[in-house]
Amino acid sequence: MTIRLLKTSMVFAVGLWALLIAADNILDYDSNWHFVQHVLSMDTVFPDNALKYRAITDPKIQALGYWMIIATEWVMSALCLTGAWGLFRARRNRLDFIAAKPLAACGLVLVFLMYFVGFVVVGGEWFCMWQSEIWNGQAKAVMFLTCAMLVLIVLLLQEEDQRP
């Protein structure tokens, strides 16, 4: 049961982290709003960048993008925290614990999708975020998605056939 509690704690930690990010993006809206605006407008990429036609400068579309990020963070948090609760409740029974894993796994995969697809692929490559010295969030995104993937790997390790 100790290993199950460790797995549960790891999923809970990711859920708590996602909850703090989501809450911070509402409580301190402007900080990350400026980040999203600069990345989408591509105003700090190399001056001669031929890909600047991809820039999104309409504040309404930028706000929609930011709210999609915030909503995804809330869902990541809800899935991981609810998944951790399900794992905790099922900790005494191997089969129940295995059956409780998918919800937590969905939350962890959503973290991966948000930070790999959203920040590395779309932000980093499509909007050339890597070219900005100030508004480049790729390193943090990779740190976040790596942590989530490590927790996912641990979570999905086969449960030993122990009693109970």
Distance CA 46, CA 91 (A): 52
Q: In the chain, count of helices (H) and strands (E)?
A: 5, 0
Q: What is the dihedral of CA 135, 141, 143, 149, to 10 degrees?
A: 180
Task: Report the pLDDT value the prediction gives residue 96, as an integer from 0 to 100.
Answer: 96
End-to-end CA distance of the chain, in Å?
A: 8
Element (H, E) at 74: helix 59-89
In contact, 43 and 109? CB cutoff 8 Å: no
Residue in 129, 133, 113 with CA at minimum distance from that of residue 37: 129
Question: How much is the pLDDT for 159?
Answer: 83
What pTM did the predictor assign? Answer: 0.92
Residue 79 confidence (pLDDT) = 98
pLDDT tens, residue order, the chain (164 aa): 899 999 999 999 999 999 999 999 999 999 999 999 999 999 999 999 999 999 999 999 999 999 999 999 999 999 999 999 999 999 999 999 999 999 999 999 999 999 999 999 999 999 999 999 999 999 999 999 999 999 999 999 998 765 55
